[in-house]
Amino acid sequence: MCVLTPYYTEEVLFSLHDLEVPNEDGVSILFYLQKIFPDEWNNFLERMGCNNEEELLEGDKLEELRLWASYRGQTLSKTVRGMMYYRKALELQAFLDMAKDEDLMEGYKAIELNTEDHSKGERTLWAQCQAVADMKFTYVVSCQKYGIHKRSGDHRAQDILKLMTTYPSLRVAYIDEVEEPSKDRKKINQKAYYSVLVKAAPPNINSSEPVQNLDQIIYKIKLPGPAILGEGKPENQNHAIIFTRGEGLQAIDMNQDNYMEEALKMRNLLQEFLTKHDGVRFPTILGLREHIFTGSVSSLAWFMSNQETSFVTIGQRLLANPLKVRFHYGHPDVFDRLFHLTRGGISKASKIINLSEDIFAGFNSTLREGNVTHHEYIQVGKGRDVGLNQISMFEAKIANGNGEQTLSRDIYRLGHRFDFFRMLSCYFTTIGFYFSTLITVLTVYIFLYGRLYLVLSGLEEGLSTQAAFRDNKPLQVALASQSFVQIGFLMALPMLMEIGLERGFRTALSEFILMQLQLAPVFFTFSLGTKTHYYGRTLLHGGAKYRPTGRGFVVFHAKFAENYRLYSRSHFVKGIELMILLLVYQIFGHTYRSAVAYVLITISMWFMVGTWLFAPFLFNPSGFEWQKIVDDWTDWNKWVSNRGGIGVTAEKSWESWWEEEQEHLRHSGKRGIIAEILLSLRFFIYQYGLVYHLNLTKNTKSFLVYGISWLVICIILFVMKTVSVGRRKFSANFQLMFRLIKGLIFLTFVSILVTLIALPHMTLQDIIVCILAFMPTGWGLLLIAQACKPVVERAGFWASVRTLARGYEIIMGLLLFTPVAFLAWFPFVSEFQTRMLFNQAFSRGLQISRILGGHRKDRSSRNKE
């Protein structure tokens, strides 16, 4: 058997600098690990013979410290150590098979120690055990950039070399770029690409020179051109697969781990390849379950851990048998290597369409008459994302991947070749889940826009007077009951069943209640928005891209600007739109409708709106601390006001981010652009309906009223354009004149408002209704302008569109920031949030407040002592 791990530029081994450098909250990785694993830290100090961290750093134990920390993170060294247990297990099993009675009495460790006592001519039992392990097991880590790192003197290359020296049977594959002289002297040197396999150079026993840690090339194969054409990871696996050997190939990600007791079962698992599980075909992919090891601290990590655990156990088991639609979901599956090598490999590498490259291996295997099974008796460790931003980026990547799968030929072919029941199973367990999610959210939109039409047209008021509609209890009950499903209880059902099966239903029920108290429905409703947005966008415009999620320790505060960049289009805009719909429905329907009916019908939608708008701040550590709020506001103001340009990143400037957000429209086809424009037209409904509900206009239904409302919008846009041009031309030389013009515009606006209030008796409700009517219209115009960017740019209006967009972003930022800042005034809100986020840590007696509070305080108090 061979294990293959693709690696790019993640951490191999934490350096001392990485461990000790504090983040903006003053928390270093080492300090964090000491507080999260206090017992293990004390045990480590005891093993090293030290009393505290200072003694450890002063001595020669630095490498041990780096390893201790790295084995508790999501690093390559942890994965390599875990996978090398397969070799240890093989050596132990070989010893038990070959040892004589006296060797068994001495024990496994004794033969390892007694190796040197035997004569050199005689082959020792230990050497035989190692030879068996070498024959039966290979581990290849495909480090795509190892050659570049080695030449540039990167510390990661040194750490990988250290791993090869520690584990002599470890092999590293990489793509080497070399400049070769051209045969034609007139031409410049050409780049040549090689697929290279290296190992650690064995020490020369006869040499008296000091040991040099160098690598040694085993194979070097010239490639026809650059290997990286798609997303990177599939090519990284495909170029290294030729260096693997044996009949079984296990694909392992870089954030996984293994355990000795599980490694002992691998021999049994490989026997499954010789059994016809369905009575017809031998298996081509053996599925394994995963143990999620990152759910121990924050509530978000716990939710994600439970969700993943239910998916990789009860979910995969059901997919494999009886549904027979389990494919390959990455990570620990064992492939029939010969079957897949002769049928296109284990990874499809086309850019964009194969974003979720792992599942396509399962599609390929099933289409070519393979058989995918699942086995519960063996598991592999798996690290998951632990912060909301990481989780959202991961879910965005998966939703994008499912969007591309929906458009792929593989799903089309499977749908045509499966029987009816297997086709339905395949649909609902792959793209159907995302399509159903999209339909669920679209239903909310259609329901609210339908209600908006009924309210503004007067139909609902007319219907409410009829006896058949006045007390329609069944409809209210149906809407109220389906709201519980929308709130997110249904998402927790597989977790409840899995925990119940493994640890008892009393434990499952108590954990379920605890999850509700820790606001699990908020998290699941929020992730519903993430899936819907990215899946829908991919279907409309394509252009899915890989989103790196990071594998660090996340107990730090994300800035307001960072949250805004990440969730503005996927959650905030949609949340505000639904909120306006609900407000209009409430304002114009409250006179003839009971409050109970309104609450029953709209409670789940209000919950969804609140979740989409404020969940990122609720699940943000230190999200309600006043000092953090002040810093966030300063940072956001700076970000919004910064001008973009060449080389200015989205993190530094709003303009750069805004341009990036429209990138999907540039690569979209005509149908995508037309669909975007048609969807944007919904924002004009508000204005058309609401202008006839003002006190000024309620007695007239003339089309002239709608025409005047458009005239008002044109005047507002003209004034904004005038001010924008005036600022550019006059603000430097004629500053006083420019300020006078701005003052006159303001006075004119106030006088018009006063006149409207005094003469036709315009009310406060009318002012609110005008805002609710005109704001969506402006947003709709913005979306259409973005979709028709080339035309707008040629007309010379793009700068005005950007100015208008900036104004909308500032208003949205204020709407979101004000409630958060208000709650930050009350200290108990921050305390409640910390308790809610880190309940698991509190129950283990950990001092999360000290982690959030920072390292400096702890150090100063320790120095005083």
pLDDT in tens, 175-210: 998 888 777 766 677 888 999 999 998 776 555 444
Q: Which amino acid is at 702?
A: S
pLDDT for the residue 643: 82
Question: Of 353, 148, 160, 345, which Cα lies nearest the Cα of 239?
Answer: 345
| 26: Cβ contacts below 8 Å, ≥ 6 apart | 854, 855, 856, 857
In the block, residue with structure tokens 């006179």: 591
> Which band of pLDDT confidence, cut at 50, 70 and 90, is reported for residue 488?
low
pLDDT for the residue 477: 65
User: Can you tell me the mean pLDDT for 301-330?
Assistant: 88
The pLDDT tens digits of the residues spanning 403-452 come to 999 999 999 999 999 999 999 999 999 999 999 999 989 988 998 998 88
The pLDDT tens digits of the residues spanning 664-684 come to 898 888 999 999 999 999 999
Cross-strand bridge partners of residue 682 = none
Higher pLDDT, 460 or 833: 833
Element (H, E) at 199: strand 190-200
DSSP annotation of 223: E
d(CA 56, CA 99): 41
pLDDT at 490 over 90: no
pLDDT for the residue 190: 82
User: What number of other Cβ atoms are within 10 A of residue 49's Cβ?
Assistant: 10
d(CA 567, CA 574): 10
pLDDT for the residue 478: 65
Residue 865 has which token pair?
């002592």
pLDDT at 752 over 70: yes
Question: Of 368, 364, 292, which Cα lies nearest the Cα of 328?
Answer: 364
pLDDT at 139 over 80: yes
> Which band of pLDDT confidence, cut at 50, 70 and 90, is reported for residue 600?
confident
Percent share of the chain, pLDDT over 90 = 44
d(CA 541, CA 824): 40
Residue 281 has which token pair?
């075909």
List C-alpha distances in Å: 495 to 306, 489, 580.
Answer: 6, 11, 35
| 67: Cβ contacts below 8 Å, ≥ 6 apart | 13, 77
pTM: 0.89
Characterize the bridge pairing of strands 285-292 and 372-382: parallel
pLDDT for the residue 406: 94
Q: Which amino acid is at 500?
A: G
> Which band of pLDDT confidence, cut at 50, 70 and 90, is reported for residue 780?
very high
> Which band of pLDDT confidence, cut at 50, 70 and 90, is reported for residue 615?
very high
What is the chain's mean pLDDT, rounded? 85
User: Can you tell me the mean pLDDT for 115-143?
Assistant: 80
> Which band of pLDDT confidence, cut at 50, 70 and 90, is reported for residue 138?
very high
> 3-class DSSP state for residue 379?
strand
Q: Give helix 520-541 / helix 670-680 axis angle, nearest 10°.
A: 130
pLDDT for the residue 693: 80
pLDDT at 727 over 60: yes
C-beta of residue 172 within 8 angstroms of C-beta of residue 198? yes
Burial (0-12, 13-18, 19+ Cβ within 10 Å), 643? exposed
Characterize the bridge pairing of strands 372-382 and 256-257: antiparallel
User: Can you tell me the mean pLDDT for 495-503?
Assistant: 90
Higher pLDDT, 550 or 545: 545
pLDDT for the residue 861: 42
Higher pLDDT, 588 or 573: 573
